[in-house]
Amino acid sequence: MSGLKKYAAPLLMLLIFEAVAVTLWLTKGNLFYLFNFSYIGISIALGLFLYIRKYRHARRVVQLLVGLYMLVYLGLIRGENMQIEGFWYYLFTGVFEAATIHYAVAKIFGPLIFGRGWCGYACWTAMILDFLPWKTPEKPRKKLGFLRYIAFALSLLFVAALFLSGAGELEKIMFWAFLIGNAAYYVIGIALAFAFRDNRAFCKYVCPVTVFLKPMSYFALFRVRCDKSKCVDCGKCRRVCPMEVDVTDNSRKRKNGTECILCMECVKNCPKKAL
Ligand code: SF4
Ligand code: SF4
Ligand code: SF4
């Protein structure tokens, strides 16, 4: 029984994803959804299991399992544009499929429960950026967050222009947009990481998806909290945080609170087990 309690989090995550998988399979009449969400649920549950077993690369295992699946299988092989342009595209066509479902689950409503878990465990852009050497920022934060709104507006304008221009072969254009968009994200993300000595600079300043992720994760159910009776204010948690979150402040307005990617570096490194 204690074993079951110890592994409650991976079991719960598996159940949530299975519920989504079965519901979508039955309501949409498409077996793909059963496979897709079961695969993601099993990957996340495996990562949580490895984390509980204190395997230090647990998060990276999930990131690679989910990130590569989405980039290579869904994106390149199945030709689904899962980037923000794909979301606008399916939204404009009025189809609740692929990217719209993905955005609803992972990036719009899901963050109300698991915050920015997507950014820590599944994003295929960050999957590559996290291989770079600047795990924590080595330079002060810049005031460049406005760039995300420009990127957001450009993605929307691009898809709106496609529809307004009456361009043909939209599916083909969206596939090329996926290839070019991803390549651009990697180039910009790596360049920013080098310039600011910060692997996650792209996430902090440019990524348009954060326009959804930040406000929704403000209300997240799962958050890292600090037990003030144990904390000795050593500051270690803040020094190891890739997103510069003031995790010792339990209020929802804590500094950079909507940036937390639930990577658990702070929890692992707290000498007093206060987190
Ligand atoms: S902020 Fe954007 S690029 Fe960074 S992990 Fe999240 S979705 Fe991926
Ligand atoms: S690492 Fe732990 S003890 Fe140190 S400031 Fe953070 S929560 Fe407090
Ligand atoms: S180190 Fe802690 S506060 Fe910082 S992103 Fe990771 S889980 Fe969130």
Ligand 1 atom with the smallest distance to the CA of 208 is: 2
Question: Is it true that domain 226-275 has CATH number 3.30.70?
Answer: yes
Residue 79 has what pLDDT?
87
**Contacts from 233-239 at CB under 8 Å and sequence distance 24+?**
234/271, 234/272, 236/266, 236/269, 236/270, 236/271, 237/266, 237/269, 237/270, 237/275, 238/266, 239/136
Pure H helices in 29-146 = 31-52, 58-68, 84-93, 98-102, 111-114, 117-121, 124-129
Q: What is the pLDDT of residue 116?
A: 94
Q: In this model, does residue 197 exceed pLDDT 90? A: yes
What pLDDT score was predicted for residue 186? 97
Q: Are 44 and 63 in contact (CB under 8 A)?
A: no
pLDDT at site 105: 84
* Cβ of residue 70 lying under 6 Å from some atom of ligand 1: no
Closest-lying ligand to the alpha carbon of 123? 1
pLDDT tens, 17-48? 899 899 989 998 889 889 999 999 999 999 99
Please tell me the predicted confidence (pLDDT) of residue 236: 96
pLDDT surpasses 70 at 3:
no
Measuring CA to CA, how many Å separate 115 from each of 60, 90, 140, 205, 224?
18, 24, 25, 18, 10
Residue minimizing CA distance to atom 5 of ligand 3: 260
* Probe target for ligand 3 pocket from 63, 121, 241, 246, with the most ligand atoms within 8 Å of CB: 241
* pTM of the model as a whole: 0.92
Q: Quickly count: other Cβ atoms within 10 Å of residue 17's Cβ.
A: 21
pLDDT at 101 over 90: no
User: Which ligand minimizes its atom distance to the CA of 202?
Assistant: 1
* Ligand 1 atom having least distance to the Cα of 124: 8
Q: Reply yes or no on whether the pLDDT at 4 is more than 80.
A: no
Q: Which amino acid is at 144?
A: L
Q: pLDDT tens-digit profile of 131-155?
A: 999 999 998 999 999 999 999 999 9
Cβ–Cβ < 8 Å for 217, 258: yes
> Which whole number is the average pLDDT over 51-71?
93
Protein residues with CB under 6 Å of any ligand 2 atom: 226, 231-237, 248, 270, 272, 274-275
Alpha carbon of 124 to ligand 2 centroid (Å): 31
Please tell me the predicted confidence (pLDDT) of residue 68.
95
Q: What integer pLDDT is reported at residue 29 of this predicted model?
A: 86
* Beta-carbon contacts of residue 210 (< 8 Å; ≥ 6 apart): 148, 203
Give the three-state DSSP class for 58.
helix
For range 64-75, the mean pLDDT: 93
Q: What percent of the chain has pLDDT over 70?
A: 98
| pLDDT value at 259 more than 90 | yes
The encoded tokens of residue 107 equal: 């990036």
pLDDT digits (tens, 9 = 90+) for 209-257: 999 999 999 999 999 999 999 999 999 999 999 999 999 999 999 999 9
Residue 30 alpha carbon to ligand 1 centre in Å: 28
Q: Is the four-CA dihedral 193, 235, 59, 42 of positive or negative sign?
A: negative
| CB 21 near ligand 1, within 6 Å | no
Q: Is the pLDDT of residue 1 over 60?
A: no
Cα of 96 from ligand 3 centre, angstroms: 33
- Assigned token pair, 105: 């689950």
Nearest protein Cα to ligand 3, atom 2? 266
Domain boundaries, the chain: 85-217, 226-275
Q: Does 125 contact ligand 1 (Cβ within 6 A)?
A: yes
Which ligand approaches the C-alpha of residue 226 most closely?
A: 2
pLDDT tens track for 170-184 = 889 999 999 999 999
Atom of ligand 1 nearest to the CA of 126: 5
Going by alpha carbons, the residue nearest to atom 1 of ligand 3 is 241
Alpha-carbon distance of 198 to 204, in angstroms, equals: 10
> pLDDT category, 2, cuts 50, 70, 90?
low
